[in-house]
Amino acid sequence: MSAPLNTELKIAPVAITHSCFTEKFGIPRQPLLADASRASIELLPPFNDPDAVSGLEQHSHLWLTWQFHQVAGQWSPKVRPPRLGGNKKLGVFATRSPFRPNNIGLSVVRLIEVRLHPKVELIVAGADLLDATPILDIKPYIPYADSVPSATSALAEQSPALVSVHIPDPILRRAREYRDALGTDLPQLIQQVLGQDPKPAYQQPDPERVYGMKLCSFNLQWRYREGGIEVVAMDQLTSEVAG
């Protein structure tokens, strides 16, 4: 007779995310689509022991297991994936929807640096993670085992086509002057994030509407124009708004 299934799991976050994305709107829908994005994965006590990350620098990429900490509402057997424009339902286990029986996510990120002082943190690129996302586990990405060149996906065979992004010279100059502790290339980040077309897939572009998102320490605003996106403003956020 098999042992009874233990349905109670106790999982403690091992790290917390400090990300350039402080709100859900605008975050790339998959990891590595915006490699210019930067995040710090700060290990929490008692896991913030330098010994815990010894040898991690030998790997170029990492698996992060994390929690959708701002997902509200109950899970459903069928969901409307953005890839299908929100107009078609699929089984929740056939999608990467955040509305899951257990609100757990999985991302591959590129490891830039392992920092041990003044705190134990991993600087990563390409993270599709909201600021303050709890990290449940960290594992090295192993190419021979984790990469499957023959894998197929009829739903998402390749990444969506990029949208053309125009950044006017005054805004571009200001973006080039931006500096942070993670080494973010802000002009490239703007190009990559907006190039993914952040608006919901079911919405038609409205040339009269101004869209906006918080990115790094700015309120980035743009309009849709014929042939792509044009950035119209990049205003510094106050500390209260940024937080």
DSSP category for residue 213: E
Asked if the structure places residue 155 within a domain, the reply is: no
Asked if the structure places residue 134 within a domain, the reply is: yes
Reference 38, options 240, 181, 243, 238; nearest CA is 181
Report the alpha-carbon distance of residue 75 to residue 89 in Å, rounded. 13
| Alpha-helical segments (H) within 22-114 | none
On whether both 121 and 179 belong to a single domain, the answer is: no
On whether both 109 and 181 belong to a single domain, the answer is: no
On whether both 170 and 56 belong to a single domain, the answer is: no
Q: Give residue-wise pLDDT tens across range 166-202.
A: 999 999 999 999 999 999 999 999 999 999 999 887 7
Contacts of 122 (CB under 8 A, 6+ apart): 15, 40, 41, 43, 53, 56, 62, 111, 113, 114, 115, 138
Per-residue pLDDT of the chain (243 residues; tens, 9 = 90+): 566 666 778 899 999 999 999 999 999 989 999 999 999 999 999 999 999 999 999 999 999 999 999 887 788 899 887 766 667 889 999 988 888 889 899 999 999 999 999 999 999 999 999 999 999 999 999 999 999 999 998 877 777 789 999 999 999 999 999 999 999 999 999 999 999 999 887 788 888 999 999 999 999 999 999 889 999 999 999 864 554
Asked if the structure places residue 208 within a domain, the reply is: yes
On whether both 75 and 101 belong to a single domain, the answer is: yes
On whether both 119 and 184 belong to a single domain, the answer is: no
On whether both 91 and 43 belong to a single domain, the answer is: yes
DSSP category for residue 22: -
Task: Say if residues 182 and 109 touch (Cβ distance below 8 Å).
Answer: no
Tokens 């609100």 locate to 103
On whether both 139 and 112 belong to a single domain, the answer is: yes
Domain of 59, in residue numbers: 15-146
Reference 122, options 98, 103, 138, 102; nearest CA is 138
- What is the CATH number for 181? 3.30.2310
172 in helix, strand or coil? helix
